Each structure stands twice: as structure tokens, then as C-alpha cells.
Structure 1
Amino acid sequence: MTPTATPGSDLTVAQLQRRLAEFAAARDWGRYHTPKNLAAALSVEAGELVEIFQWLTPEESARVMSHPGTAHRVEDEVADVLAYLLQFCEVLGVDALQALSSKIERNEKRFPSTGSGHSME
């Protein structure tokens, strides 16, 4: 994998996890990447994503990506949340995609389709 992936490239979760692990190892950050610390960092970054939307109306929040400065902030925070989630999963040996697939299957049984969309819990 090249250090600068282009949009639309075929990245995998494993490749991204490896790249994050190499980045952390090169800086000797592994000792800080405990499940507790990564869960806390994930929460902080999710909070920073929420902060962008905190005082927006529903209509303003739907248009947030149409403003370059705000779009860039959203993308950065999404990247931070995903990075910490992938590192968390790596440390604990959780297959994020399998966990999501299993959760969707459980929710499909728990919440049978009624023709209207519902979010996961």
C-alpha cells in the first residue's frame, strides 16, 4: 500500500489497521494504545464530531458538507473516530466488519421490517 492512497482506491480494513499500527510503532506509542485509552480517545473524537453539529438546525446540519471548511472538519473527525475504532479493534482482536454484520443480523431479527426505516441500537 502506498503512503498516499487516492480517493476510490481499494483500501481494506486490514490495510488501514496495519498502517495505523506502523504509524504508532514508529513513534513508540504502542504502550499508550491500551483498550481503555483507545476507548477514551474514541469517545473524545466522537464528541468533537458532535461539536461541529451542536448548534446547527436540522436543515443546516444536512448542508454541512456543502461548506468546504466545515466539510474538511467533518472529514477529519470522521477519520479520527475511525482510526481510534480500528486501533481499538486491532488491540482487542475484534473483526469490525464481522461484528457489524452480526449486529445487523441480530437487529433484522429483533426489528422485523415494517416498510419504514429504523436506526440500529
Structure 2
Amino acid sequence: MNQKEKFIKEDGADKVDEAYFRSLVGCLMYLTSTRPDILFSVSLLSRFMHCASELHLKAAKRVIRYIKGTVHYGVKYCKVKDFKLFGYSDSDWAGSSDDMKSTSGYCFSIGSSVFSWCSKKQEVVAQSTA
């Protein structure tokens, strides 16, 4: 999913069957347990469960096409001699056009194996980067 693409609740596009969209996003949520590469996209799509439009459905189908092309991706745990813990985090600045809230994410790995990851919308509007 293009991270510069902005989704809003009332985008003017035709509404879609919410039950179908919820089912589709629910299946994608299940896949995030082994596919951290789709977490940001699925987190973003899940914000529109109650007001899904054609644009949101198109984006969800794009994620599915990505998964189909990268079926061999996943989380693999290997025995390593070098046992190092790595942590990464990132966030955007007022990424949601509807309420100006930011999205934050993190992942932790031991060696080259990711074991914990999350991406979610912040509950409050960030006032500063400091």
C-alpha cells in the first residue's frame, strides 16, 4: 500500500457491503500474526470497517494481490550463535486526515527473527515530536 495515499471516512466513493469488507479485513488481520509486512496496511484499513467505500475495498484487494505474490514470506526462527536483541519504532505526524492523529509502530527481533510487532493509531493528537 502506498504510504502517501490518504484515506478518509467520507471520500465520496460508492459504499460497499460492510459485511464483506469486514470479513476481508478480518482475514487479513489473522494473517498479520505471521506477516508483519502487511500490518500497517491492515491497521489502516481496519479504521474504515463502519464506512467502507470502493476505494477502501480496492486497497484491501491490493493487499491480497501483494500477499499472493509473496506467499513465501513469513516469520522464520533459526538457531543463532549471535543472540542480539534489536528494536525499531516509527510514527507518522498527523497521518489520519479525519482527526489528525498519528500512527505508531514497532518491532523487536532476536537476530534476524522478528518476534513482536505492532502498528496502531495513537489515542491522542501528538503536539510535538520531542
TM-score normalised by structure 2 residue count: 0.29
- The structure showing larger relative contact order (alpha-carbon pairs under 8 Å, at least 6 residues apart) is 1
TM-score normalised by structure 1 residue count: 0.30
**Higher-helix-fraction structure:** 1
- Larger radius of gyration between Structure 1 and Structure 2: 1
